Amino acid sequence: MTKIKLHNPGFNGWAAVVVTVIIAEVMDTRTMSSAFRAAAPVSHILWGITTAHLFGILPQKADPFNYVAKVPVWRNQRRVV
């Protein structure tokens, strides 16, 4: 029998994103795509930074997510890969 690993931050993070998108789509009359297109330009900048982070395009010193990953966690030590 396969044991399910519950402490997998990568999988857990993406699962949370999927659940959030599904809930947002069900609760709002607009789709998230149409809401994104109607959003302020600063939202597009933040989206661009997030996308560049996910694709590994940003240098580590310029990536704001690397600074967040260095915040101490009370239970475990975070690993920055």
Left if phi > 0, otherwise alpha if psi is -120 to 50, otherwise beta: which for 40? beta
Residue pair 52/58 in contact (Cβ under 8 Å)? The answer is yes
Q: Are 40 and 51 in contact (CB under 8 A)?
A: no
pTM value surpassing 0.85? no
Write the pLDDT tens digit of every residue in 46-64: 999 999 998 999 998 999 9
What confidence tens digit (pLDDT) does each residue in 34-43 have? Answer: 888 888 889 8
